Chains A and B, each alone.
Chain A
Amino acid sequence: MQRIMNNPDNIVDEMLKGFLKAHSDIVEATDNGRVVKAKDIPEGKVGVVTGGGSGHKPAFIGYVGKNMCDAAAVGEICSSPTAAAFLDACKVADQGKGVACLYGNYSGDNMNVKMAVKMAKKAGITVKTVVANDDVASAPKDQREKRRGVAGEVLMWKVGGAKAAQGGDLDEVIAAAQKAIDNTRSVGIGLTPCTLPAVGHPNFEIKDGTMEVGIGHHGEPGIEVCELETADKMAKRMVDIVVPDYPFVEGDEVVVLVSGLGATPVMELYVLYDEIDRLLQEKGIKTHKAYVGNYFTSLEMMGATLTIMKLDDELKELIDMPAYSMGLKQV
């Protein structure tokens, strides 16, 4: 394992120290060492909160900022933050207008958020939630409630954060974020496994020359292991999984997000994106906006995710709003 670290057990806290220093114009520390908040949160708005395990940079703290999330709870690597951290994130984000907690569908996050929502209620804070479940490969379509949340969460935060910044009330923010994730589908392809620093070796295997289609953000096995393909064939495979699931059809305007999983050179993501866009054009699907880069990663896994979100007028306006966070800066 070739990693930049000190004691692996302290890696999350040490990462946080560096992150807070480097992005001191965007974020600041709170009384809870595992909660990061945005600087200068505009007064009187609905709070937008997220949180999740570490190792997915820029997610989750990278999406705390202007017109994005107001606070994020930070967990151990690949492990949900505590209920206390989710609660404290809600507390720092609450301005009496309620808090929208937008997070991904994982059993640990679900339990801890559920407990945090209960505790927040006792503290007089109304917290409503949207659970992202955009990963097509993680469960059949008729069991959408079981699907995991992956890179589509970035678009959910973008939309929810923008709606709150516009002055939307809690129900409007929740409705917009829910619509964003309902209109979004994703799939990932993994080329190499990832290693938890404290474990020291990969906990699953992807043999050289093969790839795993539908892999999860923590290496959860996908739907198929096959021979490594060219970028164009990978693009087709991803489009063929994502497009029919929603389904996205001719005439749709969409946002396309191609994220690396951590170790894939960004150059390769553009190779992949070029073919994805061509395939979408062929189907008469118009890309209104594209995001290509490392938006939601899995430590040092190689591979990529494709996320597509169908736009309507409201989502388009919210997606196009400026944003300023470490992971997403948009003028």
Chain B
Amino acid sequence: MGTLKNEAGKPVLMRMVKGIQDNKAYLGEVDGLIGDGDHGMNMNKGFTVFEDRFKDEDISFTEGLDELGMILLNEIGGSMGPIYGTIFMDMAEAGEDLDEISAADFAEMLEAGLNGLYGIVDARVGDKTLVDTLSPAVDVMKKAGETGQDFKEALAEMKAAAEAGRDSTKDMVAKYGRSSRLGERSRGVLDAGATSCCIILTAMADGIMELL
């Protein structure tokens, strides 16, 4: 079982920041193949603003998610600003009253993020977007919550599901976003949003596992 203490969850956020910072160039390259190449740069900028602003602040996991979401939404823009901004802020809202976050709670938070995303984009599974990473991750966590699976085990499975989801975008043809204009030419390349989402979910899982 195990739960994450919300007020002690800041290291999870810092791990997400590091995940994005370490992969700045890689995300730019992935995005450059069928997009415009700015994905790594903008994500890095937003996450680094968060790091600079809150590295010395005492904030909980959900407070941090909310702040990070606001920074992406209000200060970074692009497509990823509203997309990740909405996901993080809706996740934060779903978990803000919790002192202890269980696997089932985390599943609810992730699902709230996904539903928030569905409110602003029409993309669904199979459209070669970050939904392909996030949706299977949500499914794994929800199932874990329902069956009372060990949180750590569930997180390991969630990571695998996110990776498989990310990899599934390689053979897809993009239907939304900038790469959708390429049709068949978008096949054979990972989606940049699906890739960054996998990095974020992996960092989140690793960060939470350490604190369980």
Contacts and interface: CB of A to CB of B under 8 A. Distances in A.
Contacts of B82: 83, 108, 111-112, 115
Contacts of B25: 199
Interface stretch (A73-81, A152-160, A250-258): A73-81
B148 interface: no
Given A115-B82, A220-B181, A108 B77 contact: yes
Interface stretch (B14-22, B36-44, B97-105, B156-164): B36-44
Interface string A119-154: 000000000000000000011000000101000000
A199 B180 CA distance: 23
A80 to B, nearest CB: 5
Contact of A221 (B31, B176, B185): B185
B76 A82 contact: yes
A82 B185 CA distance: 29
A84 B75 CA distance: 8
Contact of A78 (B33, B38, B185): B38
Given A114-B120, A139-B181, A219 B36 contact: yes
B83 interface: yes
Given A79-B77, A79-B78, A84-B74, A107 B177 contact: yes
B188 interface: no
Given A9-B45, A78-B36, A148 B181 contact: yes
Contact of A79 (B38, B120, B176): B38
A107 B29 CA distance: 20
A218 B28 CA distance: 13
Contact of B121 (A81, A111, A198): A111
Contact of A138 (B28, B42, B177, B181): B181
B182 A220 contact: yes
Contacts of A221: 34, 182, 185
B41 A80 contact: no
A24 interface: no
Interface residue tally of chain A, by bracket?
20 to 34
Contact of A85 (B38, B40, B77, B121): B77
Given A76-B77, A83-B73, A198-B41, A146 B28 contact: no
A220 B178 contact: yes
A196 interface: yes
A199 B37 contact: yes
Given A82-B73, A196-B41, A203-B31, A218 B81 contact: no
B2 interface: no
A216 interface: yes
By DSSP majority rule, is chain B's interface helix, strand, loop, or mixed?
helix
A320 B41 CA distance: 41
Contact of B36 (A84, A114, A220): A220
Contacts of B77: 75-76, 79-83, 85, 108, 112
A106 interface: yes
B79 interface: yes
B182 A82 contact: no
Given A107-B178, A218-B178, A203 B28 contact: yes
B45 A76 contact: yes
A82 B35 CA distance: 19
A313 B121 CA distance: 39
Nearest to B34: A221
A76 B44 CA distance: 13
A218 B185 contact: no
A76 B76 CA distance: 7
Contacts of B42: 76, 79
Contacts of B120: 111, 114-115
Contacts of A196: 28, 36-38, 41
A82 B81 contact: yes
Interface of B: 25, 28-29, 31-38, 40-42, 45, 73-83, 120-121, 176-178, 180-182, 185
Given A79-B79, A83-B77, A84-B75, 8 more contacts: A79-B42, A80-B78, A107-B176, A111-B120, A114-B120, A204-B32, A220-B35, A221-B185
20 contacts: A76-B42, A76-B45, A79-B38, A80-B77, A83-B81, A84-B74, A84-B75, A106-B79, A108-B78, A111-B83, A112-B82, A139-B181, A198-B41, A199-B25, A199-B41, A203-B28, A203-B32, A203-B36, A204-B33, A218-B178
